[in-house]
């Protein structure tokens, strides 16, 4: 399995707070192509290119956890922007979000999938799977639960973590490749919800093999 050199990723700087201080629809689109980076044990890095997200619009969105107002569970969604909101779902996996909007206004973007770039062996160990072929890599991080498990994300460890801090072990950064061209972005209906299910607030990199859900929605 080919490895990407870690030196360029180790120099990556987190996106600034003002990046997240906007409408989740804008933030979600602009997160595509960025890097999710976990600074793991013994100096290792887990790195994935963000290829699929969903926007949630606070009190304007019945599908959002913050629709009915702040609670002890969802308070991070009400700001400040740029913090991790992690929740446990279906009794078996975690989902990672980032808070958006100015303090007091709820909004978030859910990370649904990344394309693994570095640390695939450690991701496979965390996922308790074996990667025998290149196409098996999709099993690592395609879908919010898989992605969270591969990156060791839990509510206890990461809820409230500051994505914008250089001291954080979980950041989002610009890709170092100067020649990287962002593919076409598609907006589709969100997956796995019943409320406001017709809103096209799921954003994906068209044709990327690591995008989750029905393949026809990602072409």
User: How does pLDDT run across 97-144, given as a tens digit for each residue?
Assistant: 999 999 999 999 999 999 999 999 999 999 999 988 888 899 999 999
> At residue 87, what are phi and psi to the nearest 5 degrees?
-135, 160
- Using alpha carbons, list the distances in angstroms from residue 17 to 29, 90, 115, 128, 129: 16, 31, 24, 34, 36
Predicted pLDDT of residue 90: 78
pLDDT per residue as tens digits for the range 135-183:
889 999 999 999 999 999 999 999 999 999 999 999 999 988 766 788 9
Q: What is the largest CA-CA distance in the chain?
A: 47
pLDDT band for 1, please (50, 70, 90 cuts).
very low
Q: Compute φ and ψ for 120, nearest 5 degrees.
A: -60, -35
Q: What is the pLDDT of residue 179?
A: 64
Residue 178: its pLDDT value, please? 65
Is residue 76 over pLDDT 50?
yes
Q: What is the pTM of this model?
A: 0.92
Q: CATH no. for residue 182? A: 3.10.300.10
**CA-wise closest residue to 192 among 68, 31, 66, 56:** 56
Classify residue 46: in a domain, yes or no.
yes
164, part of any domain: yes
> Residue 51 sits in which domain range?
7-218
Where does residue 203 rank: exposed (0-12), middle (13-18), buried (19+ CB within 10 A)? Answer: buried
Number of folded domains in the chain? Answer: 1
Beta strands per DSSP E along 68-183:
84-89, 93-99, 108-118, 170-173
Give domain status of residue 1, yes or no.
no
Residue 217: its pLDDT value, please? 58
Residue 54 · residue 96 · CB < 8 Å: no
Asked whether residue 212 is domain-assigned, the answer is yes
In a domain, 95, yes or no: yes
């Amino acid at each position: 399995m080919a490895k990407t050199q870690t030196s360029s990723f180790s120099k990556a700087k987190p996106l600034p707070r003002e990046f997240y201080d906007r409408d989740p629809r804008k933030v979600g689109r602009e997160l595509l192509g960025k890097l999710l980076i976990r600074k793991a044990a013994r100096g290792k890095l887990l790195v994935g290119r963000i290829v699929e997200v969903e926007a949630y619009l606070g009190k304007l969105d019945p599908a959002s956890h913050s629709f009915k107002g702040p609670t002890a569970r969802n308070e991070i969604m009400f700001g400040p922007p740029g913090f991790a909101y992690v929740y446990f779902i279906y009794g078996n996996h975690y989902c990672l979000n980032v808070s958006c909007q100015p303090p007091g206004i709820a909004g978030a973007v859910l990370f649904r999938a990344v394309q693994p770039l570095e640390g695939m062996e450690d991701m496979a160990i965390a996922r308790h799977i074996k990667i025998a072929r290149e196409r098996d890599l999709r099993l690592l991080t395609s879908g919010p639960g898989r992605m969270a498990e591969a990156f060791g994300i839990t509510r206890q460890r990461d809820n409230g973590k500051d994505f914008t801090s250089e001291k954080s072990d979980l950041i989002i950064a610009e890709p170092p490749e100067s020649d990287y061209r962002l593919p076409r972005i598609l907006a589709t209906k969100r997956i796995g919800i019943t409320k406001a299910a017709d809103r096209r607030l799921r954003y994906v990199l068209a044709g990327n093999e690591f995008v989750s859900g029905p393949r026809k929605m990602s072409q």
